[in-house]
Amino acid sequence: MVKHTIPKNFDDAIDYLYQGDYQVIAGGTDLMIQKRNSADLPPLFNSNCLYVFNLEELKYVIKEEKQIRIGSMTSLEVLLHHPDVPQLLKDVIIEMASPGIRSVATLAGNIANASPAGDSLVALYLMDAIVVLSSMNQNRYLPIEKVILEQRKKCIQNNEIIKEIVIPVNEFTKATWVKVGGRRADAISKVSFCGAVTIQKGMVTEFRIALGAVYMTVIRNRQIEKLYKNMSVETVKNDASNILSHYQELIKPIDDQRSNKDYRNKVALNLIEDFIKNI
C-alpha cells in the first residue's frame, strides 16, 4: 500500500527519506498531471509520497553579498514579488502558468521534474544556479547542469531533498527572456531563450545564451561563450553567422503535439540572431 506522509519539519522529512523510499512532492503541479487518473479517482502514485510544501524552514529568500539563496519550498508567486529576486527570473515567472498554480509551484519542482521545456530552468542555467541537495549525512552543492542529466533524469538520490537554490549576484548590462508558446502564460514552451551580456567600455566581458525545449536538456555551452568574451561589441555582432553555426550543432529538437522540430530549430536560431543584433 502506498503511504502518504506529511513531515512536521525539515529534520522530520530528512528522517523519512533516510528510512525509506519516497516520492517527494512540493506543489505537485507537474506530478498531479503526470499521475492523473480517470475522473473522480485519486492520482496513480505507485510509490510512497512525502508532501513537503508545508515546511516553513524551506520558504525564504536571503540576499547575501555575492549570492541569493532561495528556499526550495518558496512559491513562484512569492518570488515574483520579492524585491531581492533577479528581474530576469521574475520575467520568466510572470509567463509561467496562472497565479493560482504559481502560488504552490516551486523552482525545486521545475528542477526535479527535469523537463527541457521547464521555463525557470533556462534562466537558472544562464545565471549559474547551484542546487543544494540535503540528506541525513551531507549537503551537496551542484551546478544545475550537473543535477539534470537528461529529460526526466537527474542525479538526486532517494535519500536527498532539494534544500535551496543558490544564484550568484550578476550585474548584466542586458538580460533577455523570450518564450514562444501557444499563449504568453499558462502554456508549455515550444522554444524558450535567455541571453545576457555585460559590456564595459565597448567590450563584451560576459556573453551567455541558454535555450529550452530544443534538446533533451537546456542548452548552455560555456566553450562557445568564452570565444566571445573580451571582444568588442561590433566584433561580436559581425560574427553572428559563426555564432549561429556553433549553436546549430547543439540544437536537436523533436516533433511533438506542441510543435515540430523544423519550426523549433528555425525559431531558436532567430532568437539567437535577434539577441546578437540588439546587444
* Cell numbers representing residue 272 in the block: 539567437
* Cell numbers representing residue 118 in the block: 521547464
Contacts of 165 (CB under 8 A, 6+ apart): 69, 70, 72, 107, 108, 111, 124, 129, 130, 131, 132
- Predicted local confidence at residue 16, as pLDDT: 98
* Cell numbers representing residue 128 in the block: 549559474
Q: Are residues 89 and 110 in the same domain?
A: yes
pTM, whole model, 2 decimals?
0.95
pLDDT band at 34 (very low <50, low <70, confident <90, very high): confident
Counting Cβ atoms within 10 Å, is residue 244 exposed (0-12), middle (13-18) or buried (19+)? middle
In this predicted structure, the answer to whether residue 27 has a pLDDT above a threshold of 80 is: yes
| Cβ proximity of 134 and 159 under 8 Å | no
- Domain boundary among the residues 114, 147, 168 is at 168
**At 192, which CATH number?**
3.30.390.50
Model confidence pLDDT, tens digit, residues 195-249: 999 999 999 999 999 999 999 999 999 999 999 999 999 999 999 999 999 999 9
Q: Are residues 132 and 233 in the same domain?
A: no
3-state helix, strand, coil in the chain (%, to 5): 35, 25, 40
Model confidence pLDDT, tens digit, residues 114-154: 999 999 999 999 999 999 999 999 999 999 999 999 999 99
Model confidence pLDDT, tens digit, residues 37-77: 877 777 888 899 999 999 999 999 999 999 999 999 999 99
Q: Are residues 242 and 153 in the same domain?
A: no
Domain with 265 in it: 174-277
The rounded distance, in Å, linking the Cα atoms of 219 and 180 is 16
Q: Are residues 178 and 144 in the same domain?
A: no
- Predicted local confidence at residue 65, as pLDDT: 96
273 phi and psi angles, rounded to 5 deg:
-60, -45
Q: Are residues 115 and 141 in the same domain?
A: yes
Q: Are residues 8 and 74 in the same domain?
A: yes
- Domain boundary among the residues 138, 168, 198 is at 168
- Predicted local confidence at residue 126, as pLDDT: 98
Mean residue pLDDT of the chain comes to 95
Q: Are residues 32 and 126 in the same domain?
A: yes
Q: Are residues 91 and 8 in the same domain?
A: yes
Count the domains in the chain: 2
Contacts of 48 (CB under 8 A, 6+ apart): 2, 3, 4, 5, 20, 21, 22, 23
Q: Are residues 29 and 159 in the same domain?
A: yes
Q: Are residues 189 and 247 in the same domain?
A: yes
Q: Are residues 194 and 81 in the same domain?
A: no
The rounded distance, in Å, linking the Cα atoms of 111 and 116 is 10
- Predicted local confidence at residue 33, as pLDDT: 79
**At 65, which CATH number?**
3.30.465.10
Q: Are residues 14 and 78 in the same domain?
A: yes
Q: Tell me 36's DSSP state.
A: -
The rounded distance, in Å, linking the Cα atoms of 4 and 24 is 10
- Domain boundary among the residues 152, 168, 184 is at 168
Q: Nearest to residue 128, comparing CAs of 194, 32, 182? A: 194
Q: End-to-end alpha-carbon separation of the chain, Å? A: 57
